[in-house]
């Protein structure tokens, strides 16, 4: 038996088409779509410009189902981490980072991660499954509601749990929905360097911003901390990025997790600059967020080393930002999401 049809994760056109046969007027489908997409309605009872009888009839045939909150953990810096349960019992984490009237929502695309970067807790905990579009869009809808709809600007980053470009089918459906509310310029997809996924992204008519997790200036070191680099070598990745279509004013963001005595030398900064020379780019330097349980031997560089590395990059003409991560005290920072509740384990040093 099939249950009610979930309207979350569908575009306005799809919602209108589904509702049309059940409405008493041709425009009812468009009304429902506006309530869901523009007003973020959580139930049919909120749709007060629809007759009560129609609302009841729609509620019997359709559902507005989202991931359910299990735990909300506020950080001392104002960030909030949310543990959400999916319909099959799997759990994921997402993060809301607010700065005045602006907010950045960090969404997960998978329950777990198979890429296995050695400096990331999510990767250390192993693979899970791809999230469906309604589960990803549901995170966005829930977080926007949690922000009480009083933010003027929302940015979305796919930097939570999982590798987005290993889930392109559902990511594509998600982007179609989000683009109705959020400009592509305010959505960023971050990847460890999945070449088929980058090619897919390049072929979209409307593209979000692209961020690439680099983390080392050479193939040998990169593959030791990012096993996926053995399948998608650095040289091939850079060739794909040089060919990636960029709209006017767009740049590729390179993310570089700085690890003590591994990739933090001034000489490494020079090598990074040479590697990405000629690509419209900006570089985010992210001091490692330590975790004594999952990668006990990896340490964050001293502050002066971080600053010296960033300065060396800037001296080459690159646009560089040091991202002192937010949400670290509640394990909500870059590489710390676990997708499970309870006390955080390890030493949190600093969400990109």
Residue among 329, 327, 330, 309 at smallest CA distance from 318: 309
Catalytic status, residue 93? yes
Continuous segment of H or E residues that includes residue 118? none
- Out of 94, 106, 113, 334, the active site residue is 334
- Whether 303 and 320 have beta carbons less than 8 Å apart is answered as no
Rounded-to-integer distance, Cα 120 and Cα 337, Å: 8
Q: Locate the DSSP E strands across 231-316.
A: 252-258, 281-287
Q: Which of these, 93, 60, 170, lies nearest to 344 by C-alpha position? A: 93
Q: Which residues pair with 81 in a beta bridge?
A: 73, 95
Query: Which residue's structure tokens are 């509740």?
Result: 341
CA distances from 188 to 4, 126, 269 (A): 32, 24, 24
Q: Is 88 exposed, middle or buried (0-12, 13-18, 19+ CB in 10 A)?
A: exposed
3-state DSSP assignment of residue 18: helix
**Percent helix / strand / coil, the chain, rounded to 5:** 35, 20, 45
Active-site residue identified among 66, 93, 135, 163: 93
* Interacting residues of 149 by C-beta distance below 8 A, sequence separation 6+: 40
H or E element that contains 255? strand 252-258
CA distance 126 to 52: 47
Tell which residue, 69, 81, 112, has the closest CA to residue 329: 81
Q: Is 106 a catalytic residue?
A: no
Hey, which residues are catalytic here? Answer: 93, 334
């Amino acid at each position: 038996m099939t249950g009610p049809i979930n309207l979350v994760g569908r575009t306005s056109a799809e919602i209108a088409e589904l509702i049309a046969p059940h409405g008493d007027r041709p425009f009812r489908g468009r009304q429902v779509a506006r309530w869901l997409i523009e007003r973020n309605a959580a139930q049919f009872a909120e749709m007060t410009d629809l007759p009560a009888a129609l609302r009841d009839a729609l509620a019997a045939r359709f559902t507005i189902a989202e991931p359910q909150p299990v735990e909300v953990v506020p950080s001392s810096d104002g960030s909030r981490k949310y543990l959400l349960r999916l319909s099959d019992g799997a759990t994921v984490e997402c993060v809301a980072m607010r700065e005045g009237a602006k907010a950045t929502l960090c969404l997960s695309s998978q329950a777990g991660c198979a890429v296995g970067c050695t400096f990331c807790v999510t990767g250390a905990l192993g693979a899970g499954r791809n999230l469906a579009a309604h589960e990803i869009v549901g995170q966005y809808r829930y977080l926007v509601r949690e922000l009480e709809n009083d933010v003027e600007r929302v940015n979305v980053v796919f930097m939570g749990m999982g590798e987005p470009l290993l889930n392109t089918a559902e990511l594509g459906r998600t982007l179609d929905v989000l683009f109705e509310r959020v400009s592509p310029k305010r959505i960023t997809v971050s990847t460890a360097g999945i070449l088929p996924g980058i090619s897919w992204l390049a072929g979209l008519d409307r593209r979000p911003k692209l961020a690439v997790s680099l983390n080392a200036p050479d193939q040998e070191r990169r593959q030791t901390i990012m096993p996926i680099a053995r399948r998608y070598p650095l040289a091939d990745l850079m060739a794909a990025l040089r060919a990636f279509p960029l709209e006017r004013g767009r740049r590729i963001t390179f993310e570089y997790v700085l690890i003590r005595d591994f990739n933090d030398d001034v000489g490494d900064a020079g090598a990074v600059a040479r590697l990405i020379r000629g690509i419209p780019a900006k570089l985010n330097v992210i001091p490692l967020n330590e975790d004594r349980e999952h990668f006990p031997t990896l340490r964050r560089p001293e502050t002066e080393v971080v600053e010296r590395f960033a300065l060396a990059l800037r001296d080459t003409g690159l646009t560089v930002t040091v991202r002192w991560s937010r949400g670290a005290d509640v394990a909500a920072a870059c590489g710390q999401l676990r997708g499970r509740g309870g006390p955080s384990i390890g030493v949190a040093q600093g969400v990109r």
